[in-house]
Amino acid sequence: MLKTVINLSNVQTSKVWVGRVSYLKGLELQDDVLQKMEKNEVQTCILGFEHPGVVSIGVRGSVSRDVCVSAQELHNHGFELCQVSRGGEATLHNLGQLVIYPILPLKKLGIGVRSFVHILEQATRHCLGSFNVPLIPQQQEPGVHSIRGKIGFIGLRIKKGISSHGVSINVCNNLSNFTLIRSCGKLHGKHDRIIDWTDMVEPKQVYERWCDYFFQILKSSQTYPNEANARELQKTNFCSQ
């Protein structure tokens, strides 16, 4: 685990590359940060992971509808199944995919939900562009698409004005695994990954670059649209698998 502390507009931000851990262990680490943030022991924290095979089902998801194979076949492919409190339906993580949890006190920072999603999208688009991935214009639904398919995913939970979960980016993972689920509620959706557009690259490299863009965009955003009232920021589940 590699931790870097960054001072950002009088807010101390911890950038922590955790690396390869199970999805459940990642959730435990996230919960630990959330508890510390509620006690004002942590200001902001950006966690970076790479998870072995797992399919997670969000609050709008259904195992019977969104998982396309039996539990045994899912296990045979090396995937666990987890139900989680983030928004959305089914999403898939596997080795070679980068998972980022930007845990921020949005209410304290005065950042609305839509503004935060926009910041995540822009950081992801800038990061992917720096690896020569040709992107198409932003779609109605959140997330990021290349000319070949979806490559960046956003899934959030906001409770007590604090964000959790976040972004996943296909780096060098096996895209055929996405046939195991209805990704974003869609069957046989097209996907893309960074490695097909650039030289050898690993999730940690992408994490470092994504954080650089995220901090730049966050710092340069002097004002945020005040579209989110206090109730919106108390508890929000959002996802764009």
Q: Is 10 helix (H, G, I), strand (E, B) or coil?
A: coil
> Does 95 score more than 50 pLDDT?
yes
Confidence band, pLDDT 50/70/90 cuts, at residue 240:
very low
Quick one: pLDDT at residue 5? 47
CB-based burial of residue 94 (10 Å sphere; 0-12 exposed, 13-18 middle, 19+ buried)? Answer: buried
What is the pLDDT averaged over residues 55-79?
Answer: 78
Instruction: Find out whether 151 and 128 touch, Cβ atoms under 8 Å.
Output: yes
Residue 139 or residue 102, greater confidence: 102
pLDDT in tens, 212-223: 999 999 888 644
Q: Quote the mean pLDDT of the chain.
A: 83
Residue 180 or residue 240, greater confidence: 180
The secondary element (H helix, E strand) that includes residue 4 is strand 2-8
Residue environment code for 173-203, b if the CB has 16+ CB neighbours within 10 A, otherwise e: bebebbbbbbbbbeeeeebbbbbebeeebeb
Query: For the whole model, what pTM was predicted?
Result: 0.86
Quick one: pLDDT at residue 40? 86
Task: Give the pairing of strands 80-83 and 44-50.
Answer: unpaired
Residue 80 or residue 102, greater confidence: 102
> Does 183 score more than 80 pLDDT?
no
Quick one: pLDDT at residue 233? 44
List residues with catalytic annotation: 184
Instruction: Find out whether 241 and 90 touch, Cβ atoms under 8 Å.
Output: yes
Bridge partners for 196 per DSSP:
none
Q: For CA atoms 55, 187, 138, 61, give the dihedral sign.
A: negative
> Does 29 score more than 80 pLDDT?
yes
- Tokens at residue 97, please? 């995919």
Tell me the H-state helices in 39-171.
Answer: 63-66, 71-76, 106-109, 113-130
Give the chain's domains with CATH numbers: 2-239 (3.30.930.10)
